[in-house]
């Protein structure tokens, strides 16, 4: 189970069964389907290089036999023997060349295929994540997603494909080696194999332990990444509270868990390799001793004994490599299960329809009918209860009310970040669910309190909302939007003008500048419904006036829904709606509501009075 994936106490995000089935390995292979021909060629090269590897000891043994025979006074003369040796050398060199080509091609092709598979997998996973509903992102940590996208796919690549190539090679070399050992001396082979069960038992213990430690280590490591990411992402808050040390300690705590698992795994590895050394090397010595007796008995030539020992070393090294590969294959299967789980996740929100309503030119018609809503991350709390609100084209409605009442939630629903649990949100009398996704977001634009800009140029940021990512937007269009949003002047004063980069999340701009860039971004697609979330009081008087002026200008000729914090805004609204505890408490014009002397009148006295922020109102 992947409980680490969930923010604490959340309901399950995934079908637990998904990705847990035995078919994981098949699915992994399925990912490489496009590379099938590459892999087949790579496998051929793999066989070629493995054959070359096992051919060398045989020839080396012959070389030794030539010199031993000469030493023992054979029929060959000195020159003849040297020629014979040269001949053996040429054969060995030829085989080495074939082996080098085979091994190089194998490595190149396998790794290339692995890179392609990983690239495709990442792209598919990212696309799939982008299509998940906002409620999913409310419940999952960004760090977890990052981990799956980069770390798990990397594990899948290195372990899933490269290890398979190593495993294949090791298997082929071991089998050929064993066969040749047997051909050389069945008796010695039997003796060598008698030691195998001991090694296998040790290996089994080691893999079980290692699998456990690695899985725990990976979970701990994912936690550590999440902690790190949170700290980087909120570095200003950390600095503002002088909590760097606390952040370091939190990170240390989480990597110490990784360390703990790593150390356990290292110790298990130590025992295993120590044991391996004594059994493995001991076995070779035994074989040598026994083989030497056979040579003395003239049942085996010295050259054959040499070849045999080299084969035994090969087989030992390659079964050892297989052992190493098995643990990374286990990791890869774990990583793929996590990735497949994400890939299998169906968005809980129904996809958008294809309708493109033709509305009135003076603005969109927005209608919330009996809307109730609870956030998916907190399904037990009703945030909106049976809210009905109609804004005819070209009107401006101000939402006011106590914090936590549900104003931003209404704005979220109008952008279809979530679907209401009951009731309908309709734009131009059409249910949002049936409206085409891009069209909807060209019609509806938002300027939020703290707009998020991308670490790109100002041009990119303003053109962002256009179809095709602003590729077909001209500088003139961007400038026009910027002028309307009161930001053309300050942008032209930058040495690089519209090409100035704004820094991560727009940190290189002041709050007021950021907001005006966000206004330009919002109006460039010529939306017919503008959603405004007024900043409470983060701006100084002068930039606030500029932002206000821009907002007033861009609001004309559009339907506007504004979460209001200013007296001037509510005064100019055609209707003021007081949202409190998820319901509409009062509605009417500013004057009507003031006269009524209810909740709104109290609110105005407390929050919207000139002293509480709006210096322009009188």
Residue selected from 213, 375, 460, 498 as contacting ligand ADP according to rule CB under 6 A: 375
C-beta closer to ligand ADP: residue 280 or 582: 582
Name the helix (H) or strand (E) containing 465. Answer: none
Residue selected from 76, 91, 133, 138 as contacting ligand ADP according to rule CB under 6 A: 138
C-beta closer to ligand ADP: residue 101 or 134: 134
Judged by CB under 6 A, does residue 406 bind ligand ADP? yes
Judged by CB under 6 A, does residue 380 bind ligand ADP? no
Order of strands across the sheet that contains 396-400 = 444-447, 529-533, 559-563, 396-400, 575-580, 583-588
Q: Alpha-carbon Rg of the chain, whole angstroms? A: 36
Here the tokens at position 367 are 């209608």
Question: Of 6-14, 396-404, 446-454, 494-502, which part binds ligand ADP (CB under 6 A)?
Answer: 396-404
Residue selected from 174, 408, 442, 569 as contacting ligand ADP according to rule CB under 6 A: 408
Q: To 10 degrees, the CA torsion angle through 289, 293, 296, 300?
A: -90
Here the tokens at position 185 are 């001396």
Q: Report, in Å, the least distance between residue 536 CB and ligand ADP.
A: 10
Question: Of 88-96, 105-113, 309-317, 376-384, which part binds ligand ADP (CB under 6 A)?
Answer: 376-384
CB 64 within 8 A of CB 303: yes
Judged by CB under 6 A, does residue 420 bind ligand ADP? no
Judged by CB under 6 A, does residue 377 bind ligand ADP? yes
Q: Which residues contact 373 (CB under 8 A, 6 or more apart)?
A: 382, 383, 384, 409, 413, 418, 420, 421, 422
Question: DSSP secondary structure string, 99-162?
Answer: HHHHHHHHHHHHHHHHHHHHHHHHHHHHHHHHTS-HHHHHHB-HHHHHIIIIIIHHHHHIIIII
Looking at residue 422, the DSSP 8-state letter turns out to be E
Residue selected from 63, 238, 339, 383 as contacting ligand ADP according to rule CB under 6 A: 383
C-beta closer to ligand ADP: residue 178 or 447: 447
C-beta closer to ligand ADP: residue 91 or 138: 138
Judged by CB under 6 A, does residue 379 bind ligand ADP? no
Instruction: State whether the Cα torsion 490-494-496-502 is positive or negative.
Output: negative
Q: Report, in Å, the least distance between residue 117 CB and ligand ADP.
A: 36
With b for 16 or more beta-carbon neighbours within 10 A and e for fewer, the 352-375 pattern comes to: beebebebeeebbbbbbbebbbbb
Judged by CB under 6 A, does residue 403 bind ligand ADP? yes
Q: Report, in Å, the least distance between residue 531 CB and ligand ADP.
A: 12
Question: Of 10-18, 221-229, 317-325, 407-415, which part binds ligand ADP (CB under 6 A)?
Answer: 407-415
Question: Of 232-240, 370-378, 386-394, 464-472, which part binds ligand ADP (CB under 6 A)?
Answer: 370-378
Looking at residue 606, the DSSP 8-state letter turns out to be I
Q: Which H, E and C letters describe 253-308, residue by residue?
A: HHHHHHHHHHHHHHHHHHHHHHHHHHHHHHHHHHHHHHHHHHHHCCCCCHHHHHHH
Residue 603 neighbours by CB distance under 10 Å: 21
Residue selected from 378, 433, 483, 581 as contacting ligand ADP according to rule CB under 6 A: 378
Question: Of 94-102, 354-362, 404-412, 566-574, which part binds ligand ADP (CB under 6 A)?
Answer: 404-412
C-beta closer to ligand ADP: residue 417 or 494: 417
Q: Report, in Å, the least distance between residue 578 CB and ligand ADP.
A: 11
Name the helix (H) or strand (E) containing 241. Answer: none
Judged by CB under 6 A, does residue 334 bind ligand ADP? no
Here the tokens at position 327 are 């643990």
Q: Report, in Å, the least distance between residue 377 CB and ligand ADP.
A: 5
C-beta closer to ligand ADP: residue 57 or 376: 376
C-beta closer to ligand ADP: residue 375 or 460: 375
Give long-range contacts, CB 8 A cutoff, 24+ apart: 570-573.
570/398, 570/400, 570/604, 570/608, 571/617, 572/396, 573/396, 573/397, 573/398
Residue 289 to residue 515: CA distance in whole angstroms: 84
Q: Which of residues 34-93 bind ligand ADP (CB under 6 A)?
A: none
Looking at residue 485, the DSSP 8-state letter turns out to be T
Q: Report, in Å, the least distance between residue 137 CB and ligand ADP.
A: 9
Question: Of 167-175, 353-361, 375-383, 606-614, which part binds ligand ADP (CB under 6 A)?
Answer: 375-383
C-beta closer to ligand ADP: residue 291 or 376: 376
C-beta closer to ligand ADP: residue 377 or 574: 377
Judged by CB under 6 A, does residue 405 bind ligand ADP? yes
CA distances from 269 to 196, 220, 276, 280 (A): 19, 20, 10, 15
Q: Which of residues 85-104 bind ligand ADP (CB under 6 A)?
A: none
Judged by CB under 6 A, does residue 448 bind ligand ADP? no
Residue selected from 327, 382, 409, 559 as contacting ligand ADP according to rule CB under 6 A: 409
Question: Of 178-186, 243-251, 372-380, 585-593, which part binds ligand ADP (CB under 6 A)?
Answer: 372-380
Judged by CB under 6 A, does residue 133 bind ligand ADP? no
Judged by CB under 6 A, does residue 407 bind ligand ADP? yes
Question: Of 144-152, 319-327, 405-413, 423-431, which part binds ligand ADP (CB under 6 A)?
Answer: 405-413
C-beta closer to ligand ADP: residue 257 or 378: 378
Question: Given its phi and psi angles, is residue 503 left (phi above 0), alpha (psi -120 to 50 degrees) or beta?
Answer: left
Strands 384-391 and 575-580: unpaired
C-beta closer to ligand ADP: residue 401 or 470: 401
C-beta closer to ligand ADP: residue 10 or 434: 10
Q: Which residues contact 219 (CB under 8 A, 6 or more apart)?
A: 4
C-beta closer to ligand ADP: residue 380 or 542: 380
Contact residues toward ligand ADP (CB under 6 A) are 138, 375, 377-378, 383, 401, 403-409
């Amino acid at each position: 189970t992947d409980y680490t994936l969930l923010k604490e106490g959340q309901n399950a995000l995934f079908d637990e069964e998904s990705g847990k089935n035995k078919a994981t390995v098949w699915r992994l292979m399925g990912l490489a389907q496009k590379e099938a021909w590459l892999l087949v060629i790579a496998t051929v090269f793999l066989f070629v290089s493995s054959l070359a590897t096992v051919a060398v000891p045989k020839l080396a043994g012959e070389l030794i036999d030539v010199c031993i025979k000469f030493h023992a006074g054979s029929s060959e003369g000195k020159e003849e023997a040297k020629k014979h040796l040269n001949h053996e050398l040429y054969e060995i060199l030829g085989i080495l060349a074939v082996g080098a080509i085979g091994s190089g091609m194998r490595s190149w092709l396998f790794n290339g295929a692995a890179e392609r598979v990983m690239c495709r997998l990442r792209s598919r996973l990212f696309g799939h994540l982008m299509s998940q509903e906002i409620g999913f992102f409310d419940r999952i940590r960004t760090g977890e997603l990052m981990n799956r996208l980069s770390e798990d796919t990397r594990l899948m690549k290195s372990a899933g494909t490269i290890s398979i190539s190593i495993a294949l090679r090791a298997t082929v070399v071991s089998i050929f080696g064993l066969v040749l050992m047997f051909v050389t001396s069945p008796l010695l082979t039997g003796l060598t194999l008698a030691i195998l069960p001991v090694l296998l038992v040790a290996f089994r213990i080691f893999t079980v332990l290692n699998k456990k430690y690695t899985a725990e280590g990976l979970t701990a490591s994912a936690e550590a990444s999440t902690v790190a990411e949170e700290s980087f992402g909120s570095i200003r808050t950390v600095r503002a509270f002088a909590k760097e040390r606390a952040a370091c300690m939190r990170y240390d705590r989480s990597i110490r868990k990784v360390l703990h698992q790593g150390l356990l795994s290292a110790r298990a590895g130590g025992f295993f390799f120590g044991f391996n050394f004594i059994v493995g090397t001991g076995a070779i010595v035994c074989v040598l001793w026994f083989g030497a007796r056979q040579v003395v008995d003239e049942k085996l030539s010295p050259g054959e004994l040499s070849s045999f020992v080299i084969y035994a070393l090969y087989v030992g090294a390659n079964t050892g490599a297989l052992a190493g590969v098995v643990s990374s294959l286990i990791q890869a299967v774990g990583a793929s299960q996590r990735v497949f789980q994400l890939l299998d996740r169906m968005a809980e929100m129904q996809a958008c329809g294809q309708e493109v309503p033709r509305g009135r030119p003076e603005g969109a018609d927005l209608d919330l009918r009996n809307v109730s809503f609870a956030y998916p991350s907190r399904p037990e709390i009703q945030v909106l209860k049976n809210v009905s609100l109609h804004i005819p084209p070209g009107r401006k409605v101000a939402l006011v009310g106590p914090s936590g009442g549900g104003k931003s939630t209404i704005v979220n629903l109008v952008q279809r970040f979530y679907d209401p649990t009951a009731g309908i949100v309709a734009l131009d009398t059409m249910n949002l669910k049936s409206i085409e996704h891009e069209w909807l977001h060209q019609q509806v634009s938002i300027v939020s309190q703290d707009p998020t800009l991308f670490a790109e140029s100002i041009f990119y940021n303003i053109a962002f909302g256009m179809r095709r990512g602003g590729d077909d937007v001209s500088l003139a269009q961007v400038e026009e939007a910027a002028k309307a949003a009161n930001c053309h002047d300050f942008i032209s004063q930058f040495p690089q003008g519209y090409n100035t980069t704004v820094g991560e999340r727009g940190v290189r701009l002041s709050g007021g500048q950021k907001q005006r860039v966000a206004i330009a971004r919002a109006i460039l697609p010529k939306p017919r419904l503008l959603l405004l979330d007024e900043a409470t009081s983060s701006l100084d008087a002068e930039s606030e006036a500029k932002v206000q002026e821009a907002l007033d200008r861009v609001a004309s000729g559009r339907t506007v829904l504004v979460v209001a914090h200013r007296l001037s805004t509510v005064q100019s609204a055609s209707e003021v709606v007081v949202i409190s505890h998820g319901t509409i408490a009062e509605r009417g014009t500013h004057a009507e509501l003031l006269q009524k002397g209810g909740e709104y009148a109290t609110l105005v006295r407390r929050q919207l009075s000139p002293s509480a922020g709006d210096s322009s109102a009188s």
